[in-house]
A = this chain, B = another copy of it.
Amino acid sequence: MSISLYRATIPVYLRGLTVMADYIRKARAHCEANAVDPVSILTAKLAPDMLDFTAQIQRVSDTAKFAVARLTGVESPKFDDDETTFDQLRDRIANTEAFIAGILEDRFDGAQSRQITLKFRTQQTTMDAVDYLFKFALPNFYFHVTTTHDLLRAQGVEVGKMDYLGPFEMQPV
């Protein structure tokens, strides 16, 4: 059984971005219902030298758009990382979603021969599209979605595992 590179990316990122939009809605609702200053959520961190809630959401956007851009060669939109409100973060996610939803399956046609180079401070690594997807792109994306979830949990916002997994078509047992 084989999986197309399209299936392994576009619907996966769209699903994760839907989850992120829901997290942002729930975070705002939590602030409104409990008279919590939104800034306390927007700047919340799990450790002093980790990225805060706002930056985690920016990284979810980046990891999705950069992965799709690298795999297809389509240029990704630029965002300024200047969001300071829930509404602006909601728009960032919506704009990321719009870019990714617009990528058609045939854009992945050349991916097979694409070599992707990742640059770190003093070193770099080069790999094919599938290794890039499973060793870097997907783990990185899920890292920031999960850390957003963990930050909300640590701040007392009511989100649960089913929110993280996203919607399923359910039937009664």
Contact = CB atoms under 8 A, between A and B. Distances in A.
A99 interface: no
Given A146-B143, A170-B120, A171-B125, A134 B165 contact: no
Nearest to A19: B139
A46 B126 CA distance: 36
Contacts of A1: 4-5, 108, 111-112, 129-130
Interface of A: 1-5, 7-8, 11-12, 15-16, 46-47, 50, 108, 111-112, 118-120, 122-127, 129-130, 133-136, 138-140, 142-143, 145-147, 149-150, 153-154, 156, 161-162, 164-166, 168-173
B15 A8 contact: no
Most chain B beta-carbon contacts within 10 A, residue among A1, A2, A150, A154: A1
A127 B74 CA distance: 31
Contact of A168 (B5, B15, B16, B135): B135
A139 B165 contact: yes
Contact of A5 (B2, B119, B143): B2
A122 B15 CA distance: 23
Given A11-B134, A146-B143, A153-B50, A170 B5 contact: no
